[in-house]
Amino acid sequence: MDGTYGWIKNGSTALCSSVPDQKAYFSKRDTVHRAIKLYPLTNYTFGTKDAQAERDGSVSARFKRMRDEYEQYGMRRSVEAVLVVHENSHPHVLLLQIGSTFFKLPGGELNPGEDEVDGMKRLLDETLGRTDGGKNEWTIEDEVGNWWRPNFDPPRYPYIPPHITKPKEHCKLFLVQLPEKTLFAVPKNFKLVAAPLFELYDNANAYGPVIAGLPMVISRFNFYYNGVV
């Protein structure tokens, strides 16, 4: 068979069709092959600020509030940020650690009617924004995940279960391009840690399914270290 029609497996089955306009195809490479610049962890300065109060005193209180607000506002919308740096040319994700065993991505609930990107930047400012009068630069690069909470309880899934018609929460994950250098001010009741992808991968027992799935989610990006493309 003419090679312009695709590759052949076992001498019989075509696995891909031809690309009639290769010039147009390669012009899309910047869109298809996304590049994200990573800078070393040592580029960033970490300070502290007053503790960030939790809205709910317990897990049960959180889901009670979610239930009450669902009656008034409907499904909760929330956003979480994927912030990536590197150490020794290996990607690390910045996580908030609470206590000794609980980790989460920076983010939280959106206000009713609030724009997702604006809300993501607001929540990053509230959690990690500097307090010295300067302003952090948060560049929202891409939406990299959607997680759904079908009921008023902890489990979340990367899909809406078939029997669920009214999920109770929709959480979007956004990849955020960090500037080359910046200052993070971390609330005193949190610890900001950099977790390497090899530790997160397939490690839901330690980090939960959302964070453990990040190595696969962001593997579609091309990372350039020290901002060099």
Q: How confident is the model at residue 110 (pLDDT cuts 50, 70, 90)?
A: very high
Backbone angles phi, psi at 47, to 5 degrees: -115, -170
Range of lowest pLDDT (9-23, 149-163, 197-211): 9-23
Lowest pLDDT segment from 2-16, 142-156, 182-196: 2-16
As a whole number, mean pLDDT of residues 189-202 equals 96
- For range 145-174, the mean pLDDT: 97
- The angle at the Cα of 211, spanning 68 to 207, to the nearest 5 degrees, equals 90
- The architecture that CATH gives domain 54-225 is Alpha-Beta Complex (3.90)
Q: What is the mean pLDDT of residues 192-218?
A: 97
For residue 66, the model assigns a pLDDT of: 94
pLDDT, one tens digit per residue, over 66-85 is: 999 999 999 999 999 999 99
Q: Nearest Cα to 68, choosing from 50, 81, 56, 79?
A: 56
For the chain, give every domain's residue range. Answer: 54-225
| pTM exceeds cut of 0.75 | yes
Alpha helix locations (H) across 101-180?
116-128
d(CA 161, CA 72): 24
